[in-house]
Chains A and B, each alone.
Chain A
Amino acid sequence: MKKVYELTDLDCANCAAKMERAVSEIEGVESVSISFMTQKMTIMTDEAGHKDIMKKVVKVCKKIEPDCVINL
């Protein structure tokens, strides 16, 4: 399932790159792309586990860039 989320307060390009790398390593995430310029995250996941996966995604991102909010 492909979903696009808006990100608020994503202030640093390097953090975006780090988040992208960390999210891509989460189990169940098929592909992810975080665009610093458009402040958007495009993520492909298993249909079934999507909710749980997104919880993990939020946790991972919080760790890297605590100010950035994923608008679920």
Chain B
Amino acid sequence: MSRKQKKSLIRIIIAAVLFAAGYIVPFADFPAWAKLCFFAAVYLVIGYDVLWKAVRGLFSGQLLDENFLMAIASVGAFCLGDYPEAVMVVLLYQIGELFQSCAVSKSRKSISALMDIRPDSANLERDGAIAQVSPEEVKIGDIIVIRPGEKIPLDCTVEEGSSSVDTSSVTGESVPRDVSIGSALISGCVNISGLLRCRVTAGFGESTVSKILALVENAGEHKARAENFITRFAHVYTPAVVAAAVILAVVPSMFDGNWSEWIHRALTFLVISCPCALVISVPMSFFGGIGGASRCGILIKGAEYLEQLANVKTMVFDKTGTLTEGSFRVTQVNAAGCTKEELVEAAAYAEAYSHHPIAQSLRAAYGSEPDSSRLSDVSEIPGQGISAQLDNEPILVGNALLMENSGVEFTVCDAVGTIVYVARGGKFLGSVIISDTVKHDSAEAIKKLRERGVERTIMLTGDSESAGQTVTKRLGIDEAHCGLLPGDKAERVEKLLSEKKGVLAFVGDGVNDAPVLTRADIGIAMGGIGSDAAIEAADIVIMDDKPSKIPLAVGIARKTLRIVKENIVFALGVKALFLLLGALGFANMWAAVFADVGVSIIAILNATRALRTKNL
């Protein structure tokens, strides 16, 4: 509890004790003014600030705020001779306010704790000694030491030592990542086990942690439609209720002359009318949703986007790097007349000196470094492949054309991907298929998205029709638009935007998708770490590169929106009901105070549910 809250609690306790004492004291034995004085004193203890704020509001033209309503209601009750009720209204109001304030600060704290990835200090190595400095002081190229248990203060690469790193606060990934010399470290993660000596690669302002924090801190700027609706609603609602209260006090009294009864009902009306439950619970739900998502490694730039995401009907995916790994790997080895190992070995040796992605994936499949003493006469045949001598035997590695031209008899392979044929000593050894692999959770992600209301899924790719169709079929995507140049993607999304119903989201890896990310209703960038363009252009950034986070984000958005709707309906419903009961004379002040602060508290507690993302 803050000091303000503690002070309020003490006042509530004192007032409550005095109030209870008021029932024991036999006021009938004293003159009439004794009772008035006693309750007036209790009233001042608990309500002086409300009165003071109301008076101050009166002078600055803020006639219709909460304090003013409470002051009128309680002073009105005093005038009607209902002293205990006047005290009770303010007492309950203060209890409710205290509860509300505690609930808000608690959820605010738990949300900021989720986002608390800001490093406090860095251990800078200077002239052989280690000094603790603020991360802002460290420059690119400096050496920092990160001890076990410490946050990584800046983006850096490991120079010495090995450890495992907990990236969960940044990416939501719970399995620690092993790092050793040469590994790049992301600021905001926590070093778990070993001492690391690292060279800084980005200043604090440019480090991942700063970018994430800036993004999260600005999330309040983009307000959702529901939020704006509520503030606009509150703007007309309060004056309307006050006008209704005046009518309720005056009009029926003119007919039956029972002024005190109708004024009493009008006062009840005023207490019920406060719009705070609504105004507080809606932004709080969104805030909770954004906080919950950030814990899962999904950064959402504002409530507006969370709201849109809940209504996504069309989702457009970039293929390479989003649904697929974006890197080439050996996916199939067809050996003919030798073992698979021999085949891959021959291919890897031939490509030993090449930097082409295909060559790299062949070497990766071979696993060990080629021994150059076994290799000689390596020459490249443009557009065909490579010829070389391995263990003094001629080898040929390349496409079908190379095999044909060299007169090697070979079996044609029609798999999707890049096909590499290998021959040794004029004899066909087999073929190796290299292709981009689909991420293991892509299919599951598409299936879940469909369950969560996405009606149309589309994949855009620069690859050939056959390669594209294979992927869409495997993943269960509705349409594929293949053979697109980078510029075509924006055009294609533009066209989809014109024919869509509902919200269109585009998911890309952000490397060259910035224009498309900005153009779509919602741009979702994957693998946000390290890509500035993605963080800039996208509305939602998924920190790791898992497609399964997309349905999770949609799930969080839908849950948040459901909570927002529940709160709006619940608060308005209860208020409307109690206003009606109040007007008809069935609701007393107790009920009125419940309808005000009770509803706020229930709505706040409901809003904190948005923070929980398990089981989504």
Contact = CB atoms under 8 A, between A and B. Distances in A.
A51 to B, nearest CB: 22
B354 interface: no
A35 interface: yes
A49 B284 CA distance: 33
A38 B66 CA distance: 22
A36 B217 contact: no
B275 interface: yes
Contacts of A63: 60-62
Interface in A18-72: 18, 20-21, 33, 35-38, 40, 42, 63-64, 66
B279 A40 contact: no
B218 A42 contact: yes
Interface residues of A, number: 22
B220 interface: yes
B231 interface: yes
A interface, by DSSP: helix, strand, loop or mixed? mixed
Nearest to A35: B220
B1 to A, nearest CB: 14
A53 B78 CA distance: 44
A53 to B, nearest CB: 18
Nearest to B231: A17
Nearest to B235: A21
A65 to B, nearest CB: 9
B217 A40 contact: yes
A11 B276 contact: no
A18 B60 CA distance: 14
Contacts of A14: 65-66, 234, 274-276, 279-280
B283 A37 contact: yes
A33 B223 contact: yes
A21 B235 CA distance: 9
A63 B59 CA distance: 9
Nearest to B56: A66
Interface string B40-77: 00000000000001001000111001100000000000
B137 interface: no
Contacts of A17: 230-231, 234-235, 279
Contact of B231 (A9, A21, A66): A21
Contact of A37 (B101, B234, B284): B284
A67 to B, nearest CB: 8
B456 interface: no
Nearest to A20: B231
A70 to B, nearest CB: 15
A33 B227 CA distance: 12
Contacts of B29: none
A35 B283 CA distance: 8
A11 B274 CA distance: 15
B101 A40 contact: no
B366 interface: no
Interface in B274-288: 274-276, 279-280, 283-284, 287
**3 A-B pairs with least C-beta separation:** A35-B220, A13-B280, A17-B231
Interface of B: 4, 53, 56, 60-62, 65-66, 101, 108, 111, 217-221, 223, 230-231, 234-235, 274-276, 279-280, 283-284, 287
9 contacts: A9-B4, A12-B276, A13-B276, A16-B279, A21-B231, A35-B287, A37-B287, A63-B60, A66-B60
